[in-house]
Amino acid sequence: QVQLVESGGGSVQAGGSLGLSCVASGYTFRPTCMGWFRQPPGKEREAVATFYSGSGSAFYADSVKGRFTISQDNARNTVTVYLSMNSLKPEDTAMYYCAAVRTWALAGCTVVAGRRLDISAWGQGTQVTVSS
């Protein structure tokens, strides 16, 4: 069972930057697809960005394209996934969650509006607050 531990987040003014990190461990097979999701107050959780390690491909929600960057470092027994967030807007305010996506195929890792990804594990979440 993969364990995910997030760090980073916090409060920032609009236009600022923040970074999130997530360390995945305890897996038998290294997750092929890792992602960041967010849940604004009173709204459903949504995919923000995913990273498919098979090809090094990154996918983004339209709302964050050009502002957020997902990346991944693989160590022997851990995977660290990063989310760099620039030009933050008040509408980016949410609880952000790291997740391992249950898929071996690139098609199962893409971010498509309205489609739910098959998640095998969630992190505990970290708050990001952007003030205007």
Per-residue pLDDT tens listing for the chain (132 residues): 899 999 999 999 999 999 999 999 999 899 999 999 999 999 999 999 999 999 999 999 999 999 999 999 999 999 999 999 999 999 999 999 999 999 999 999 999 988 999 999 999 999 999 999
As given in the structure block, the two tokens for residue 121 are 């594990």
Distance CA(23)–CA(36), nearest Å, equals: 12
Dist CA 80 CA 75 (whole Å): 8
Q: Specify the pLDDT at position 120.
A: 95
Task: Give 46's Cβ-side CA count (13 Å radius).
Answer: 17
Going by C-alpha positions, the residue among 84, 74, 73, 72 that lies closest to residue 109 is 72
* CA nearest to 128, candidates 31, 35, 36: 36
